[in-house]
Amino acid sequence: MALPDPIATDGPNLESSKSAIHWASILGGAAAAASISAILLPLGSALGFASTSAYNPGESLVTFTAGMAIWLVVMQWASSGVGGYIAGRLRVKWADTHSDEVFFRDTAHGFLAWAVATLFTFAFAACVAMGAVNAGVQAGATVASGAAAGAAGNADDLGYYADSLYRTTTPTTAATAADVSAETTRILANGAKTGVIPPADRAYLAAQVAARTGLSQSEAEARVNNTLAQIDSAKAKATQAAEEARKAMIAFHTALCISLLVGAFIASVAAALGGRLRDNY
């Protein structure tokens, strides 16, 4: 006896008039996830997982710690788990639906709850989590603009170093001192732009300093060399601050990406668990 053809006996493939997405449960889960994230993120900063050391000159202006990276993952784990579970547990019960399809819908609801929560909270999370980094970058930029503005040819800031070369206890003509200071500023600006001050310019500056301050030629050369060393040191500190800020931004974005991926996975799993319990009870 021949077996019946399954295709012939399946009947019509009827489509439900209702959507498989239950937005009420999704929005409820998203609201829970967003609220928990809003609580945990500042708590992590308060506990010191993200810190700056602007008042400690021996440390970097910007510090993105491993603790902050771990806290971002924990925050996503907790908030997404709760949000996904709520989205799965509160959805309607789908009757006459295959278990595999129910599992897919539950995981999709958890993922959508995570996505909605992320869309609403990402800007807030980024602002809070990057607050310390931005503060450090701004502090470093302020220090760099005042101490190493020669890299950008800022004559006003280089004028400070030019004036320091001609400091003396002997009164001098203001106009003459201003002319020499302006010329010196241009020499320092050119050196900052090219990266080196030619020996002829160094000798000229030393001669001008000796003529206007009463210092000996060797003392004038020492003053010039000391001033140029200060400028080079300021430029090096500014470069180091910018590099540390760049590394901190890379570490932050990497940790944020990993935490978001973890959150998406946990929300989907938690929604599947919540949906199974919903069907059982």
CB 192 within 8 A of CB 231: yes
What is the reported pLDDT for 19?
73
Say what percent of the chain tops pLDDT 90: 21
What is the reported pLDDT for 207?
86
Q: Write out pLDDT tens, residues 130-183.
A: 665 565 556 555 544 544 444 444 555 566 566 666 655 554 554 455 667 777
What is the rounded distance in angstroms from the CA atom of residue 60 to the CA atom of residue 171?
Answer: 43
Q: Write out pLDDT tens, residues 17-63.
A: 567 888 999 999 999 999 998 888 778 777 766 554 444 444 444 55
What is the reported pLDDT for 178?
60
pTM of the predicted model over 0.75: no
**DSSP codes, 115-171:** HHHHHHHHHHHHHHHTHHHHHHHHHHHHHHHHHSGGGGT-HHHHHHHHHHHT--SS-
The distance from CA 28 to its chain's CA centroid, rounded to whole angstroms, is 30
Q: Write out pLDDT tens, residues 97-131.
A: 888 888 999 999 999 999 999 988 776 656 765 66
What is the reported pLDDT for 50?
52
